[in-house]
Amino acid sequence: MSAKISRRSLLLALGGVGLVAGCGDHASWHAAGDIPGDSRPGEAASPDPSGSPLVIPPANPPTPGVCPSPGGLGPKGPQYTLPCHGTEIALTVDDGPDPTYTPRMLALLAQQGIHATFCMIGRSAAAHPDLVRRVLDGGHHIANHTHSHPMNIAKLPASAVHAEMAKASDAIAKASGNGYRPTLFRSPGGAWSPTVLAQCGTQGLRALDWTVDPRDWSRPGVQHIVSTILRQTHPGSIILEHDGGGNREQTLTALGVVLPRLRDAGYTFAQP
């Protein structure tokens, strides 16, 4: 049975991570400066930004061997799942680093003892090298998420795709201070094409996708993010969240609820 959590207790557990009110449509988020996110087209607790009580459903128990459908694009397509013979899942965090939300994401993950994979935009890594180093110092992985986050990457010519990947890897390596180069690539919007996959091979990058997408980038409300993750996660799941591209208060608040629930249910966090 899910325990009832007061608003005060939840905020204290999150170290001051607050709730934000209101949400709008995609156009208004984009106009406000958000990056379009990487989403393909219980008992009452603390309140959701919508004003409704937050209801926390139970997490699916981690039954080994019961895992999400892997997806495809052929045998050389992206990795959608972890091996699901055990209880491992993965958390991936996209579109950073961001000076407001990445430090808070790192603090939350450290509090929970969880390592994640941060899929970074090259130009943001170049602008915030201190955050790149903090992510690595925290034991997290960094994946290449292109240099400028082109949502039409699957339609770009090979030369443009190559440049997006290469510039991002170079920016991350320079920002890291120790030459760290990503070995994973996440395509913006999960947009894969034979050209994108071929360029991954050329640059020594493994294509990384996801299976659990609460569309947190769109600010659908804490309730939606929490419920989607807890209901859809199974052994082998790769969860998609964001620390950059816009206001990520809902993401942080939701993860403060979700991460301990998943751990209490028996899941262990791994990196792809």
| Residues identified as active-site | 94, 242
Kindly report the three-state secondary structure assignment for every residue of the chain: CCCCCCHHHHHHHCCCCCCCCCCCCHHHHHHCCCCCCCCCCCCEEEECCCCCEEECCCCCCCCCCCCCCCCCCCCCCCECCCCCCCCEEEEEEEEECCCCCHHHHHHHHHHHCCCCEEEECHHHHHHCHHHHHHHHHCCCEEEECCCCCCCCHHHCCHHHHHHHHHHHHHHHHHHHCCCCCCCEECCHHHCCCHHHHHHHHHCCCEEECCCECCCHHHCCCHHHHHHHHHHHCCCCCEEEEECCCCCCHHHHHHHHHHHHHHHHHCCEEECC
